[in-house]
Amino acid sequence: MASLPPTIWGDHQLEWGKRTHVMGIINVTPDSFSGDGLVEETLAPDAVVARAVAQAQQFVAEGAMLIDVGGESTRPNSAPVSAEQELSRVLPVIQALHAALPEKVIISIDTYKAEVARQALDAGACLINDIWALRRDPHMAVLAAERGVPVVLMANMRGYQRHEIVSDVVRFLAGSIDLALQAGIVWERIIVDPGIGFGTTPEENLTLLHRLGELRTLGRPILLGTSRKSTIGLVLGGLPPSERIEGTAATVALGIALGADIVRIHDVREMMRVVKMSDAVVRGTPFTL
């Protein structure tokens, strides 16, 4: 598996090919599909921030290099929230994480709204994870280019007519890469994500996983987000999100074998073990006896 040139920006660097990077998920929402949302009606805002910091610190101690903070649920049929509400959720958390976590840790803002991303970057985030791949907010690409930060472009098939899912996803991502380059985003700062579960059927999700390596034709690192997703629950007989760890582990291991460079996950401790074992086999990553 040929490695790509590293992604370098500010004081950060992500090398590709030597090991798989782990992104831990911090959902500052009350309605996350996975059941891990930190917002509760009875919980004061300061307590939510404290829980987020404790969770992120645990993730980092367990091996996560990236922490992805989101303030709007992306589960199917979830109600959108305003930029103001999203900012009220994520900004205090990002500010606290920026102060509490080691400098090497990369804080990502999971949003498709440019204004949310702008204020999150001001607060200490340094990577944009856009589930609409620059297509929902026309200002997002310009912002990423001006700030010189990496951007994750995720294929989102919601509302799109699909013909052959792998070709459709590759075409979608290629179009978003063009948007990024036209706005001035540096080639090495583009990351792609097949968008497992975003407007795709369970059968299509399995096909995307089976043929994940075909995304390598895009020439960019691949982020894979399968953690606790409904397709896993369906394959395993209707298991709830909390019981999808083993299924997630299978998708992570297979995803790494097929070319994933970053895995976005809820259960960092368990998946870090999967990543280390997979890297030892796939990448020949050194280990200590």
> Cα 1–198–40 angle (5° rounding)?
115
| Residues with catalytic roles | 229, 264
Residue type, 268: V
Measured in degrees and rounded to the nearest 5, phi and psi for residue 255 equal -60, -40
Measured in degrees and rounded to the nearest 5, phi and psi for residue 74 equal -110, 15
Q: What is the DSSP string of 155-177?
A: ---TT---SSHHHHHHHHHHHHH
Edge-to-edge strands of the sheet including 66-70? 190-193, 151-154, 127-130, 106-110, 66-70, 21-27, 262-265, 223-224
The 8-class DSSP code of residue 247 comes to H
**CA 205 → CA 201, 212, 235, distances in Å?**
6, 10, 11
| Pairing assessment for the beta strands 223-224 and 262-265 based on DSSP bridges | parallel
Number of neighbours of residue 54 by Cβ within 10 angstroms: 11
Helices 45-62, 268-282: inter-axial angle, 10-degree rounding: 30
Sequence-distant (6+) residues with CB within 8 A of 87 are 71, 115, 116, 119
Q: Is the dihedral of CA 61, 63, 120, 41 positive or negative?
A: negative
